[in-house]
Amino acid sequence: MDKQQKIVSMFDNIAKSYDIANRILSFGVDKNWRKKGINLALSTYQKEDIDLIVDVACGTGDMMGFWEKEARKLEIEVAHILGIDPSVGMVDVGKKKFPQFEFKIASATEMGLESDSADIISIAYGIRNVVEREKAFVEFFKTLKSGGLVVILEFTKDRKRGLVSRSRDFYMNKILPILGGMISGNREAYTYLPNSIGDFVSSEEMVAELESVGFETIHNLSFSMGVSSLIIARKGVSDV
C-alpha cells in the first residue's frame, strides 16, 4: 500500500467519529475560518449566478454545507455543488448528512471532470493529505473556467517562533493525539495530523507552486495568529 492509499484508509477508519472529533479538537473555530474563506471567495468572484462549485477532499461534506449557506445569505444562486473525495467511508457519512449534494469518489489529481467546467474549486484542510500536490494544482487549473478561483484552507508551517507557536505545538503534539484517540478510537490518525503539519510547506511555498502552474494569487491570509492559512488564486481570464 502506497502513502496515498494509507492516508485514504486512515480516513475510512475514523469517518464515523470525524465530525465530532474535529469540532472538539478545533474548539469549533474552523467553522469561522471556513465561512471567512467562502465569503472572501464569493466577493472576489463577483457573480450572482454560479454553475459549479467543487469541494475537493470534501470528507463528510461540511465545506459544501457552508458554501450553500453563505451563498444563500448573499443571494447568490449556485446551480451545483459537487464533493470529491477518495475515502468511501467519509463520503458515505457525507451522503447521509447532505442528501441534496452530489458526491464522487475520486482523487484530487484525477477528478474526472470536464475542462473549463468549474467556477470555484475549494479544498479545506485536505491539500496536506494529497501526496502529489502539484499534480493536483494542474488538475484544478485544467478544470476551472477562465477567471475561476481555487480556495485553499490549510494548517501551514509557521516560520515564526513565539509563545503562540509553542503553545499550539504543545497542544498538537501532546494533547491532540490523546483526545483524538479517545474520541475516534484511532490515536495513530491524530498523531499523523501534527506530524503532517510539521512536514508541510509554508503558505508562501504553496503560493509559488500554484503560480508555477499558471494561477494568479489574489489573497494569502492567516487566521488565529498563523494557525490556519487561506489562499485564493485565480485562473487567468486570458487562459483557455
Considering Cα of 111, then 6, then 192, then 209, what sign does the dihedral take? negative
The mean pLDDT value for 50-54 works out to 98
Q: What is the CATH architecture of 18-157+201-235?
A: 3-Layer(aba) Sandwich (3.40)
> Where is pLDDT greater, at 151 or 161?
151
Contact 197, 226 (CB under 8 A): no
Under the banding of pLDDT at 50, 70 and 90, the label for residue 239 is very low
DSSP, res 110? B
pLDDT at position 42 over 50: yes
**Cell numbers 471532470 correspond to what residue?**
113
Contact 149, 121 (CB under 8 A): yes
> Where is pLDDT greater, at 18 or 56?
56
Lowest mean pLDDT among 71-80, 125-134, 231-240: 231-240
**Cell numbers 473555530 correspond to what residue?**
29
Residue-wise pLDDT for 156-193, tens only, equals 765 555 666 677 677 777 777 787 778 777 778 777 77
Under the banding of pLDDT at 50, 70 and 90, the label for residue 85 is very high
The mean pLDDT value for 202-229 works out to 88
The mean pLDDT value for 48-53 works out to 97
Q: What are phi and psi of 203, to 5 degrees?
A: -65, -35
Of the candidates 54, 229, 43, the residue with the CA atom closest to the CA atom of residue 145: 54
| Whole-number pLDDT of residue 200 | 76
Cα distances from 80 to residues 34, 68, 224, in angstroms, run 19, 10, 31
* Extents of the domains making up the chain: 18-157+201-235
Cα distances from 140 to residues 54, 108, 199, 223, in angstroms, run 10, 8, 23, 24
Contact 55, 113 (CB under 8 A): no
Of the candidates 37, 21, 54, the residue with the CA atom closest to the CA atom of residue 148: 54
Under the banding of pLDDT at 50, 70 and 90, the label for residue 226 is low
Under the banding of pLDDT at 50, 70 and 90, the label for residue 10 is confident
pLDDT at position 214 over 60: yes
